[in-house]
Structures are given as structure tokens and as C-alpha cells.
Amino acid sequence: MMTEQNEKDLICILCPLGCKMTVSGCADKPEALVIRGQQCKKGREYAFEEYTNPTRTLTSTVVIHNAPLARLPVKTSRALPKHIIFQAMEEINRVELTAPVKMGSVVIKNLLETDIDVIASRSMG
Ligand code: SF4
């Protein structure tokens, strides 16, 4: 069976040194990935995660009624897998709230069955 070889350049964002790293290998054989350029173990772990399961904390806004602003800032409680971010945005775009809302309130529970919530980033009365 043929396996696809890939190479990806990354910059480590875990400390101000910003090491330039290269990850190469087969996506279906993560244990055999070759990671170069990192100056510490944390950078290696970051590159591995970024290559095999990239995630991002999602920040957005939702409609809020009866409030001084038309939209309330929200964010995910943890980083989401990158491949479901567009689906997650569709869910967030359906939300409409009514003030008052407290910072940290859960706006969407268990977003897309990820066990990650969307929470209010600020209070709005
Ligand atoms: S690899 Fe280590 S030293 Fe380099 S930027 Fe990342 S955390 Fe900093």
C-alpha cells in the first residue's frame, strides 16, 4: 500500500524564541514522524500535535437582544479540532441571547458533541 509523504514547516509559538521546525513523514504513521528544528521537548510535542491534530480556540460573537451592544463576544472553553471550526461557526451563528448575560455563562453546551462549551467572554446587562 502507498502512503503519502508530506513535509510541513511550522513556527513554534510556545516561547519567544519561535523556533522554525519541519515535520516530515506519513500522516497515517504519526509514530514515525521526523521533527527537526526544535530546541526543546515542548516544541517537539507542539509540532506533533499541530501535524496530527491541529486545534484552535475559537472566538466569535453572537446576537444579543435588550443590551447596549448588538453582539456579545464568546469563545470556546478549550481548543477545538481545526477541521470542525466551520461547523462550529454555523452553530454559533444560530445563537440569539437576551441580556443580562454573565461572563463565563455557557452559551452552547457540548458544542458538536466535543465536550467543549461556548462561553460568554464578558458580561452584558
Ligand atoms: S521549541 Fe522550545 S525553545 Fe523553541 S520556540 Fe518552542 S518552546 Fe521555545
Rounded mean pLDDT for each run of 10 residues along the chain, 125 residues in total: 74 96 86 94 94 93 97 97 96 97 98 97 95
pTM: 0.79
93 in contact with ligand 1, CB cutoff 6 A: no
How far apart are the C-alpha atoms of 106 and 118, rounded to whole Å? Answer: 6
Q: Which atom of ligand 1 is nearest to the CA of 40?
A: 2
Q: For ligand 1, is residue 39 a contact (CB within 6 Å)?
A: yes
CB of 38 shorter than 6 A to ligand 1: yes
Pairing of the two strands 59-65 and 96-98: parallel
Q: Residue 106: what pLDDT?
A: 98
* Contact call for residues 17 and 10 (beta carbons, < 8 A): no
13 lines ligand 1 (CB under 6 A): no
Length of the chain: 125
Q: What is the pLDDT of residue 2?
A: 47
Which alpha helices (H) appear in the chain, and where do they start and end?
41-52, 85-93
Which residue's C-alpha comes closest to atom 5 of ligand 1?
18
